[in-house]
Every structure is written in C-alpha cells, then in structure tokens.
Structure 1
Amino acid sequence: MEFLQKAIVKAFADVFETEISATQVNLEQTKKEFEGHVTFVVFPFVRQTKKSPEQTATLLGQYLQANCQEVESFNVIKGFLNLALTDAYWLGVFKNEVLAPDFGQLPKNGQKVMIEYSSPNTNKPLHLGHVRNNLLGFAVSNLLKSAGFEVIKANLVNDRGIHICKSMLAWQKFGKGETPENAGLKGDHLVGKYYVVFDQEYKKQINELLGQGLSEEEAKKQAPLIKEAQQMLLKWEQGDAEVISLWKKMNGWVYAGFDETYKKLGVSFDKYYYESDTYLLGKDLVEEGLQKGVFFEKADGSVWIDLTADGLDEKLVRRADGTSVYITQDLGTAQLKYDEFNCDQSIYVVGNEQDYHFKVLFLVLEKLGKSWAKGLYHLSYGMVDLPSGKMKSREGTVVDADDLIEEMKLTAKEKTEALGKVDHFSDEEKDQLYQMIGLGALKYFLLKVEPKKRLLFDPNESIDFQGNTGPFIQYTHARIKSVLKKAGFVTGEVSFPAQLGTTEVELLQLLSRYPQIVEQAAKDYNPAAIANFAYDLAKTYNKFYQTESILKTEHELVKAFRLQLSASTAQTLNMAMAILGIEVPERM
C-alpha cells in the first residue's frame, strides 16, 4: 500500500511539521476484533509529534480521512490508528491486481537456486521421514518458482557403502534368485527385506560368538557376515565385475520402486547425483586447504580443521590412510553443484539431526574462500511422530511410505462414503477422488506446520472435512466450482456494484494479500504460510457464501460480481494448493 505510506509521510509533514520516510511506515492488517482494514502504530513517532499516542493517531486519522480519497473512516485504540478503506479502493484492487493474468506469480528475479531433497539410501524403501522431506523440498521448490526464482530440484542418492553391501550379501546368500517380478514386491521393498535379513542373521552370529566367550564389541567385529560385507565393499571399490553387476541390478530394482513412490507422492527432480560418483570428490579441496593453512596434518597423517575458535570442535577431513570421510564428499559435491549450475543459493532439505554437520560444512567452505558458500542454507526440519498403534509398519520400527499412502487413501474412502456424497461418481472417479483427498490430507497436515517443528501425524485427524485440513480446502474449492457450474459462469467483462458487503471486503482484502504471502513465505522457506493462507481463504469464502446470496440475488450486476469473486477465490486456492503439491477437485 504505497499510496498510504506516501499519504502518512505527507500527513507528518503537514500536521506535525516533521519528516519521516516511507520505509518507516509499517502497515499491518487490522486485528479482527477491531474495525478497519489497515493499522498504523504511532508509538515510535510520539517524540517527533510531541503529543500523546492517542492525539497523534487522531490527528493523523483526521488528516487522512480529509485528504486521502481511499480512506473512508478511522478509529483509534490507544496508539493504534485503524483505517477503513473505501469500497471503491477494494474494487480497484480486484480489477487491477486480483484479475490480472499474472496474479500470484511474482516477476522473475534473475536468481537461480538449487534445492536438494529426498536423499534416500538404496538399501530400503522410503519411510514417513522421507515423506516429510520430499513434500517439504517439493513445496519449497514450487514456492520459490512462484516467487520468481529459477529452481533446480536435485536428489543426492546414497547408493554405496557398507549398508548397501549388507542387502547385496544377504540377497546373494539367502535370496534364492528372488526378484521383484517373481516375489510380487516393489524393488525397494525387496532389497529392504534383505537388509532386514542381514541384520537378523548377523545378530544370530553375534550371539553364537558371545556364547563362545567373546566380548560384544569383539563379537560384532568377528561375525563372518560383517567380514564378508566389508570384503564385498572392498571389491566394489576395486571395481570387481561380479560385485558391480550385482550392485547395478539391485540398485535398478530400488530405483524402479522409488520412482513409483515419487509418482504417487507427486514429486519430481531435475538432477540426480549419486554418492558412487561423488564419494571421491573433495580430496582436491583437502589439498587446497592444506596449502592455504585452513587444514592441518597430524603425526599419523590424518588431516583436520580446528573450529574451536568458532565455537565448534576439531573436524577430521581425511583419514590417516588417505580415505575420505563423509564431510570430504560433501565439500566436493558442493563444489561440483556450483561448477555445474552456478547457483546463487543452494538449499539442503535435511532433518535437524544433521544441524551440526551443516554448520561445519558451510563454515569449512567459507574458510576455504568459496564466495558462493554464503548462499548455502540448511532447511532443517523436525521429525514426524505417529500416535502409538495408529499405523503398522512392515518392519515394526518405521512407517513405510507406500503403506502410508495406501492407508490415507482407504481412510479417505471410508470418511467420504460415510458422508454419502459420491453415489453419482463412477468407480474410476471415486478412486481418483479418494487418492486426491488422501494425499491432500497427508500433504497438508505435514506442510501446515513450520518445518523446524516436530509434529505428531494422526491420519484420522488429517482427513476431516471441517477445520484446518486439506480436505476442508478441497471441499471449499469443489463447492465454488459447483456454484459456478450451476450459474453457467464464463469469465468475461466484470461488473462492479456500488457497494460491498462486509464479507465481500474481507474476501477481497485476503485475496489481495496473496502475492505478499508468497513473497514472505519464499524468503522464510516456509510453505506453512501458504497452507494457512489457503485455510483462511477457504474459511472466509465459506463465511461469504453463508452471508451473501450468490445465485438467488435479484440484482444481475451483483450476481455477476459475486460469481467472479468466487471464481477468483477458486483460482487462488488452486494456486496456493498447487505450491503444496496438492490437487483440488472440481467436485466432491
């Protein structure tokens, strides 16, 4: 509201003979318990006006009402000046902003950003934690695109290491040629099954060795299975043809399974990185760091960085035998990403258990003099818990993503059929609707909470057609579409009434805020702001729907306006939910 900022600056000059800048004029939405649309807080300026907060606010209000045609009335609550704007102003906003073809899409800003998310291991299927990660990464990608960024979605797949060899060895020893096809299992589930088999057999061997008098630590080291897995990893690193062939075959199964789950979740990637390609990266950076004096070498030949002066600790960057550690690889991959894409920002969507790792990673890159390190950001998120006993998992410890998706669809089916509103749907339409509602409920529930917060996910609570849920917003969208269809609405020339009802103004005011919500949410990497905006918009529309007659009004001009306002609300709900990766139905 630049016009109002300028008017307030002029008011200070004319009424109080004092200068303030437009940047000092912070305007807020008026709280719901007070009358008005916009609030200006005068407390910071009373030293300049030399009057009490109430006097200052009253004099400003009187001036603005007399000299600013958009201000209809005002009221003062202590040092808060609440301004009500004219119907003509809100209709102008609707015509010039909300109805603009590019409404909700911010102009391109020339900034390029990479968002890395998912990062699965190829020894097991995706689970509930991965679901939050994927949905968050995908939503932030969509959010930044809407805010004018060029976005590259990346996935760093952890496809090598001892944990991968454990699955491979167990399948080799106990698999009897089982494949996804002959087992009727998704490939990631099959490989995950043998990861569990390895663990079971390994524990048996440990117990046998404990019975022979070995200590637990020694038994874990001496168990034949772990020795074989370590030997397999060594062979993999040496390029053994047989091991590489098995590794490629089993990883192929896993990728096919992951792709199926990603498709169900509705997420995608522009670029894949594989640890098997990147694990040797970073060694050049270690040498560079040694030459610059950023790293130091200990007597045993290991290389470290001392970060104690920065409130952290000493960190190993290369083992004494010359092999890389995890952070070495991450240093190299960060350099590779920058070299390939030259991004202004690089965002890592990773759980908060890795907070310390990323502090170290970014600090080391800064100390190495990488100017682009300032653009690195760890989007840390909390864990997801489930109410005990709500959902079983395949292994008894984690909730499998595919099971979760199926459970959500079934819950959506039960709750929708209980309402008895889908009798006129075909079986195919019902199936699509249940999928849409189930996934919408899951996505919305996980995204409406700020990323950093830990959350408790209750499948039943998430599928509710009332309250702050995905299905409530989906139902509101379907309701609007039903009204428009019934009216035979076609977008065209819009007629504007002379006066607006209170709920019409509320709806217009909320719609007008959408671009600012997108801009701020993008700055904060926070899709929850979009989710909660969508809920507020749906709630406000339902209030408007209950208060104002749309189809039965006798005034054709008013009817045409309310239909266009409804259509704009549906379009904005669609845009907001699309950022979250949620589809909205045409009917429910």
Structure 2
Amino acid sequence: MDFITNATVKAVEHLYNATITLQDVNLQQTRKEFEGQITIVTFPFTKVSRKGPEQTGQEIGEYLQANVPEVAGFNIIKGFLNISIADSYWLNVFKGISEDKNFGTLPANGKKVMVEYSSPNTNKPLHLGHVRNNLLGYSVAAILQAAGYEVIKTNLVNDRGIHICKSMLAWQLFGDGETPESTGMKGDHLVGKYYVVFDKEYKKQIDQLKEEGKTEEEAKKQAPLILQAQQMLQKWEAGDEEVIELWKTMNTWVYDGFTETYKKLGVDFDKYYYESNTYLLGKDIIEEGLAKGVFFKKEDGSVWIDLTEDGLDQKLVLRADGTSVYITQDLGTAQLKYDDFGMDESIYVVGNEQDYHFKVLFLILQKLGKAWANGLYHLSYGMVDLPSGKMKSREGTVVDADDLIAEMERTAKEQTEALGKTGDLAEADKQHLYYIIGMGALKYFLLKVDPKKRLLFDPNESVDFQGHTGPFIQYTHARIKSVLSKIQNIGSDISLPASLQNEERDLIILQSQFTDVILQAAKEYNPSAVANYAYELAKTYNKFYHEHSVLQAESQNLVYFRGGLSKKTAQILSKSMQMLGIEVPERM
C-alpha cells in the first residue's frame, strides 16, 4: 500500500504546509468490525494540523478521496482513518496474482543458510520432543527456500559417549544375541530397550551398595555397571576393535530405525555430521584462543574463558587432562560447517533447556573474531506435553514418535469414518488418506504455535475437522478441488466483474498478503505465521463458499471468476501447507 503512504505524505504537506516522512505514516489493517481495508493512525499528525485527531482524519480522508482514484471512501473512528479501497484496485491485484505462475515463491536472494535439526542420540528411539524439533527444522528450511534462500539441511547425530556405551553394555550382558530381525523390533526400539535395561540394573546395584553402607553418591560412582560402561567408553576412544564393531552394529540398527521414522515424518537432510567424527574438533580453536588471549589456563592446566563482564560466568573449554567438553566440540563443529558450506546464516534448532549453552557458544566465537559468528541463531523451542493417559510409550516415561504417528493415524481413521465420506475409496487409498490426515493434524498442531511457547498436544482436538486444525485446512482444499472438477476451461484469462462481494474482496486481500507472510515467517524463523495465515485463508474461503455459489453464479463469466478465485486459494493453501511439510489431499 505504498500509494496510500505516499498520498498521505502529500496530503499533510498540502493541508498543513508541513513536511513528514514515509516512516511517520502508520498504516494498519482495518479491524473487521469497521468498514474499510486500510487504517491510517492520525494522532501523529495533530502536531502539524493543530486540530483534534477526528478533524485531522476527516480532512486527510477528503483529500485522499478527491486525489487518489483507488480510494473509494473513508470513515473516522476516533483517531483512526479507515480507508475503503476501490474494487477496481483489488481486481487488478487479483489479475496479477492469477497470472503469476510462481506466486508464493520469491526469487533467489543470493544468501545461503544452514538449518541444523533433529540431532538425535543413538541410544533410544525418537520421541515427542524430537518430533517438534524435526517438524520445526524442516518447516523453517522450506519457508526459507520459498523466501529465496539456498538452504542446507543438516543433522548432527550424537553417536558416541557414555549413554551409547550403556545400551551396548546392557545388550552384551542381557541381550542373549537379540537382533531387530530375531525380535521383529525396529532397531532404534531394540537399542532403546537395552538403555532402559541398563538403567534398571544400575539402580538395583546402587540400592545394593547403599544397603552395604555406601552413600548415594558413592554408590552411583562405584556400581559395577557404570564402571564397566566407563571402561567401554575408554576402549572405544582407544579404538578397541571389538568395542568399535559392536558400536557400528548397534548404530546401524538405530539408523535403520531412524530412517523409517524420518520417512513417516516426511523430513530429510542434505548432510549428516556425526559426533564420533567431530568430538576431537575444537582443540585447534582452543590453541588459537589461548594465543589471542581470549582463553586462559588455570594452574591445573584446564582452559577457561571469563564471560563475567558479559553477564555470564567462567566457562571451562578444555579439561586439565586435555580432553574435550561439549563446548569444545561445538566450537570445532561450527568451524567445520562454515568451512564446508560458507553459509551466511546458521540456525540451530534445539530445545530451550540449551539457551545458556548457545549464548556462550556464539559469544565465544564472536570473541575469537569469527566474522560468520554474527549469522548464528539458536531457534529455541518449548516442551510438548500430553494430557495424562492419552498415550503411553512402551517404556512408560516418554512418548515414542512411532507410537505417536500410529495413534494419529488411528484417530484420523475414527474421525473420518464418523463423517462417512470415504465409502467409495479403495482400501489402500483410505489408509493413505488416514495417514495424510493424521500427519497433517500432528504437524499443524505443533507448528501453529510460536516455537518459543510450551504446548499441550491433544490428539483428538488436533483432528477436529471444524476447528483450528490441519484437517480443517485439508478439507477446505479438497472441497475447492471438488468444485473445480465441475468447471471446465478455467484459464488465467478470467473476465473480471465490475464489482466485488465483500467475501470475494476479503479473499483477494488475504491472497495478496501471502508473499509478505512468507517473508515475515522467514525473517522470524517462525512457521506459525504461515500456519495461522493458511487457517485464516481457509476460514475466509468457507465463508465465501457458503455466501455465494460458484457453480450456480448468475453468469458464466462469474462462474469463471469465482472458479479462478477458488483455484488460486487452493494453490496458496497447498503451498502454505507444503511449507509446513503437510500434504493436502485432492478429496476427503
């Protein structure tokens, strides 16, 4: 609406002989209860008009209506000037949108961005927290791609450490040679089973030692199982062939399981990094930091950085024995990723329990003079909770991702069959539809909320076909496709009507905002902007559909126009949902 902004500047100059800038003009969308589409806030102009906000608004409104052809009318509500834009303007906007085959995909901006997400541990299956992480990362990557960025999707797999050795040791001691093939279990579930076995047996040993007079802390450190796990880790780091072979075997089981879950979730990666390859990185950076005086050594030989002047604390970056801590390898991995891809921005999708860690990491890299450190961003997200009793994982403590996906398909099947609209579909098509609806419900529910917020996920609520849900938007898309299948020969050369109904205008206005929504979501790394936009568009279309017939419109030209309006709505809904990783069915 630049023409309104420019005209307002001219109006103030003409009416009050005063100069203002474009930034002084505050435009807002008109609230739904008032007539008009654009609202100008008049309070700032009262200083130069020396009149009240209402009279100032009246004078500016009269000037705009007389001098700007696109302004059809106006009204004043206190200090707000509501402008009604002529239908001819909106019809031209729609003509431009309908003729643009790439509408909703911005041209390349020459910038490269990396999105790192998932980052699982190879000692257990993916769970509900991982699901939010994966969906966020994938969606942010898709939005950035639509906004014109070159995007690299990466996954840093935590495949080493004491937690991995716990699963390995428990399998050695209690597994009796079990494999995914012999048990019929997914590999990640099988390895996760032995991580739980380790924990149970470890607790038994702790209790036994406490009965023998040890303190809790002594018992935890002296239990035979933890000592054996630590010994196994030392052997792994020393390259012991037997330990390495077992590690490779069990990790392969886990990766096969992860691949299956990633496929169900519809997420993928361009590059995998593995902590087993990166855990020794960062030591060169520590040497560099010592030489620059960024780090300092304590008497015991450990290396630290003092961040107290930055409002943080002192941070250990290398142990006295020369071994790495997490921050060491993260420094090294950050450098490795930049060396590999030279990206302008790098986004870490990690839960908010790591907020402090990333503050420290980014600050250290900046102090080391890494120019690319200013492009690092921690996309921090909140926990996901479930209403108690809704679903239980096989371990009874966390919600397994595969269980969650299966439960979503079951819920989608129940809700869809209750509506009785799938009777004529082949069985395979029905099952695929239940999967699409179930995953659409899950993804939309998790992505419609700002990532920073903690959320309560209710499976039944998420599949409500009439609510603020993915299935509601999917159903709207299917409804439009059904309408379009009954109209022949809708081309881009659509005859435009002389005027618009309110609901038609509302649809065009929303369609025109699509590009701005993509840019906003990309700037904020926030898929909820796209999710909520898609819901508003679907809701607005349904209102239009109930108020005005498409197929029985008064003239054939109007059928084509409303068909064209419907077609573009379906395309935008499809594109929006695609950015959320959600498939929209042709029929439901």
TM range (shorter): over 0.9
1:321-349 superposed Cα distances (whole Å, 9 cap, x missing partner): 11110001101111111111111111100
- Counterpart of 2:232, as a letter, is M
CA drift at 1:51: 2.0
1:245 to 2:245 alignment: yes
* 1:15 Cα offset (Å): 1.7
> Cα gap change, 1:47/1:492 in structure 2, threshold over 3 Å: closer, same or farther?
closer
Check if 1:139 corresponds to 2:146.
no
Tell me, in whole angstroms, the C-alpha distance in 2 between the residues paired with 1:355 and 1:98.
44
* Mapped partners of 1:164, 1:374: distance in 2: 34
What is the alpha-carbon distance in structure 2 between the residues aligned to residue 441 and residue 30 of structure 1?
Answer: 31
**Deviations 1:3-48, CA, capped at 9 Å, x for gaps:** 2222222212222222222233232111101100111112122212
Q: Is the 2:382–2:455 Cα contact (8 Å) retained in structure 1?
A: yes
The Cα of 1:489 is off from its aligned counterpart by 5.0
Which amino acid in structure 2 is aligned with residue 272 of structure 1? Answer: Y
Mapping of 1:89-238 within 5 angstroms? 89-238=89-238
Instruction: Give the Cα–Cα distance (whole angstroms) in 2 for the partners of residues 224 and 516 of structure 1.
Output: 60
Distance 1:266 1:44 in 2: 50
The separation in 1 between residues aligned to 2:512 and 2:356, in whole angstroms, is 40
What CA distance in whole angstroms lies between the structure 1 residues aligned with 2:10 and 2:107?
Answer: 30
1:395 lines up with 2:364 in the alignment:
no
- The answer as to whether partners of 1:98 and 1:512 remain within 8 angstroms in 2 is no
- Deviation (angstroms), 1:510: 0.7
Query: 1:422 offset after TM fit, Å?
Result: 0.4
Query: 1:555 and 1:91 mapped to 2: Cα distance?
Result: 18
**Equivalent-residue separation in structure 2 for 1:526 and 1:98 (angstroms):** 27
Q: Which residue does the alignment assign to 2:39?
A: 39
Structure 2 residue 59 is the aligned partner of structure 1 residue 59: yes
In structure 1, what is the equivalent of residue 528 of structure 2? 528
Which blocks of at least 5 consecutive residues in structure 2 are unaligned? none
Task: State the distance in 1 between where 2:76 and 2:575 align.
Answer: 37
Which whole-Å CA distance do the structure 2 matches of 1:398 and 1:414 have between them?
25
Say which is worse superposed, 91-100 or 333-342, in terms of deviation.
91-100
Distance (whole Å) between structure 2 residues aligned to residue 26 and residue 142 of structure 1: 32
Q: Normalization by structure 1: what TM-score?
A: 0.99
Q: Which residue of 2 aligns with 1:369?
A: 369
Whether 1:409 and 2:440 are equivalent positions in the alignment is no
Tell me if structure 2 keeps the 8 A contact 1:160–1:276: yes
For 1:250, the aligned partner's letter is: M
2:435 equivalent to 1:435: yes
SS in 1 for 2:500: coil
Residues 233-285 of structure 1: CA distance to partner in whole angstroms, max 9, x if unpaired?
00110111111111111101101100100000000111111000110111111
Tell me the secondary structure at the aligned position of residue 571 of structure 1: helix
What does residue 499 of structure 1 align with? Answer: 499
Deviation at 1:97, TM superposition (A): 3.1
Query: Hey, what does 1:289 align to over in structure 2?
Result: 289
Once the two structures are superposed, residues 543-566 of structure 1 have per-residue CA deviations (whole angstroms, 9 ceiling, x without a partner) of 000111111123111111000000
* Partner residue, 1:315: 315
**In 1, Cα distance between equivalents of 2:215 and 2:388:** 35
Equivalent in the alignment of 2:423: 423
Q: Which amino acid aligns with 1:281?
A: L
Q: Is 2:454 aligned against 1:454? A: yes
* Structure-1 separation of matches of 2:97 and 2:25: 22
Q: Which residue of 1 aligns with 2:556?
A: 556
> Would you say 1:338 and 2:338 are equivalent positions?
yes
Specify the alignment match of 1:518 in structure 2: 518
- 1:174 is displaced (CA, Å) by 1.3
Give runs of aligned pairs for residues 18-33 of structure 1, distance below 5 A: 18-33=18-33
Post-superposition offset of 1:462: 0.4
TM-score normalized with structure 2 length: 0.99
- Alignment partner, residue 254 of structure 1: 254
Q: Which amino acid aligns with 1:525?
A: Y
1:49 equivalenced with 2:49 (yes/no):
yes
Q: Distance in 2 between matches of 1:81 and 1:371?
A: 47
What corresponds to 2:355 in structure 1?
A: 355
Task: Judge conservation of contact 1:119–1:158 (CA < 8 Å) in 2.
Answer: yes
Which residue matches 1:277?
277
Partner of 2:572 in structure 1? 572
CA distance in 2 between partners of 1:9 and 1:108 (Å): 33
Identical-residue share of aligned pairs (%):
70
State the secondary structure of the residue aligned to 1:496: coil
Residue by residue over 1:90-122, the C-alpha shift from the partner in whole angstroms, topping out at 9 and shown as x without a partner, is 000001134311211122111111011000000
Cα-to-partner distance string for 1:523-580 (whole Å, 9 max, x where unaligned): 1111001110000000000000011111112311111100000000000000111000
Structure 1 CA distance for aligned equivalents of residues 96 and 483 of structure 2: 24
SS state of the match for residue 378, structure 1? strand
Distance in structure 2 (CA, Å) of the matches to 1:211 and 1:295: 46
Asked whether the 8 Å contact 2:99–2:492 carries over to 1, the reply is: no
Deviates more, 1:380-389 or 1:55-64: 55-64
Once residues 94 and 22 of structure 1 are traced to their aligned partners in structure 2, the CA distance between those partners, rounded to angstroms, is 26
2-side partners of 1:80 and 1:560: how far apart?
38
- One-letter code of the match for 1:452? K
Q: Given that residues 114 and 153 in structure 2 are in contact (C-alpha distance below 8 angstroms), is that contact kept between their aligned partners in structure 1? A: yes
Conserved? CA contact 1:489–1:563, under 8 Å: no
Q: Indicate conservation of the 8 Å contact 2:104/2:514, yes or no.
A: yes
Secondary structure of the 2:28 match is strand
Residue 326 of structure 2 aligns with which residue? 326
How big is the shift at 1:219?
A: 1.4
Residues 1:487 and 2:524 are matched in the alignment:
no
Secondary structure (helix, strand or coil) at the match of 2:347 reads strand
Deviations along 1:379-416, one digit per CA (max 9) or x if unpaired, are 10000000010111111110000000000000000110
Calculate the aligned-residue CA RMSD, in Å: 1.0
1:378 aligns with 2:412: no
Give the secondary-structure state (helix, strand or coil) at the position aligned to 2:115: strand
CA distance in 1: counterparts of 2:93 and 2:7, whole angstroms:
18
Q: Offset at 1:203?
A: 1.4
Partner of residue 302, structure 1: 302
Query: Which residue does 2:544 correspond to in 1?
Result: 544
In structure 1, how many angstroms separate the alpha carbons of the residues matched to 2:179 and 2:305? 46
Q: Distance in 1 between matches of 2:492 and 2:307?
A: 64
Asked if structure 1 preserves the Cα contact closer than 8 Å seen for 2:98 and 2:492, the reply is no
State the 1:152 CA deviation.
0.6
C-alpha distance in structure 2 between counterparts of 1:489 and 1:124, whole Å: 54
Counterpart contact for 1:98–1:511, Cα < 8 Å: no
User: Match of 2:584?
Assistant: 584
Deviation at 1:457, TM superposition (A): 0.2
CA separation in 1, counterparts of 2:306 and 2:323?
19
Q: The residue matched to 2:76 in structure 1 has which SS?
A: strand
Deviations 1:482-504 (A, max 9, x none): 00112235434211011110100
Q: Which amino acid in 2 is paired with 1:158?
A: N
Question: Quick check: 1:16–1:49 contact (8 Å CA) kept in 2?
Answer: yes
Q: Following the alignment from structure 1 to structure 2, what is the Cα–Cα distance between the partners of residues 437 and 480?
A: 17
Amino acid at match of 2:379: L
| Cα distance between partner residues in 1 of 2:569 and 2:581 | 18
Query: What is the distance in 2 between the residues matched to 1:17 and 1:516?
Result: 34
The Cα offsets for residues 53-99 of structure 1, whole Å up to 9 and x where unpaired, read as 11211111111111111110001111111101111100000011343
TM-fit CA distance, 1:224: 1.2
1:492–1:99 CA distance, 2 compared to 1 (3 A): closer
Look up the equivalent residue of 1:46 and give its one-letter code. Answer: T
